[in-house]
Amino acid sequence: MIVGHIIMLLGAVFMLLAAVGSVRMPDLMTRMHSTTKAGAFGAGMMLIGVTLEFSALDIQVRAIAILLFILLTTPVAAHAIGHAGYLSGAKMWEGTLKDELKDQLGAHPPSDAAAADATPSRPASEDFPTAR
Amino acid sequence: MNAIVATVIFGLLLLALMLSSLRLVIGPSAADRVVALEVIASIMIGMLATYAVFYRVPQALDVAMVLALTGFLAAIGVSRYLVQRVVQGEREAADKEKK
């Protein structure tokens, strides 16, 4: 009982931290860093609290299923959003040290690259395999 | 005891909801807004879990499951739309250069 309450409280604190990070962080990537990890961890802790609070097996199984679903889908969604945000030209923080995708793509805002380079070295359809 | 814990958890989650709504309003790019929406979805999952525990309504967990699913699908859909828009803009720019 008391353990479940404490775990649910900790999960709520982690969710609050995720929201604070999404407001305070300087750019999209650092915001996603805070929201995906702390947010998923907070939601997972609250669902573990649910399994401790209820004694019926079907409810526990349901809560664990939601937890597994969150743990599976959060990284996928974060990957997709990060890719889309980078390609649509979200500004990076000036303290960013490493930008490996920039070296691969050629230039940061892809629209600039297309405008400057009349004959792109690669057909646009093969650029982004996720955009099929 | 139960009522105090429930109130504290709901207060924390409400504060988180307000902060991420702020990011939803001011977020400079569309991707920032999608991130804020995803945080809001997971906060709502937490609120439904709290409701299920402290008001003894386990049916709320079904709603949380559906909310997790729709949040994921919305994030994937919007990010695909953003990438598609960039690809289309690039293609149009290349066509213009050819002409």
- Contact call for A88 and B82, based on CB within 8 A: yes
Flag if B53 and A128 touch (Cβ within 8 Å). no
Distance from CA of A40 to the nearest CA of B (A): 7
Tokens 């909310």 — which residue?
A: B67
Number of domains composing chain B? 1
A20-45 as b/e: b if 16+ CB within 10 A: bbbbebebbbbbbbbbbbbbbbbbbb
Q: What is the ipTM of this complex?
A: 0.88
**Mind listing the pLDDT tens digit for each residue in A62-121?**
999 999 999 999 999 999 999 898 888 777 778 777 777 777 776 545 554 444 444 444
For residues A34, A37, A42, A47, the Cα torsion angle rounded to the nearest 10 degrees is: 160
pLDDT tens-digit series, residues B2-32: 899 999 999 999 999 999 999 999 978 888 9
Quick one: CA dihedral A21, A27, A33, A39, positive or negative? positive
**Owning domain of residue B21:** 2-98
Q: Does A40 touch chain B (CB under 8 A)?
A: yes
Task: Tell me the C-alpha distance between B65 and B60, whole Å.
Answer: 9
Q: With an 8 Å Cβ cutoff, is A68 touching chain B?
A: no
CA distance A111 to chain B (A): 6
**Per the confidence metrics, is the pTM higher than 0.95?**
no
- Minimal Cα–Cα distance from B75 to chain A, Å? 6
Domain ranges within chain A, ordered by starting residue: 2-95
**Tokens 């995906």 map to which residue?**
A36
Look at phi and psi of residue B56 and say left if phi exceeds 0, alpha if psi is from -120 to 50, else beta: left
CA torsion sign for A94, A100, A105, A106 is positive
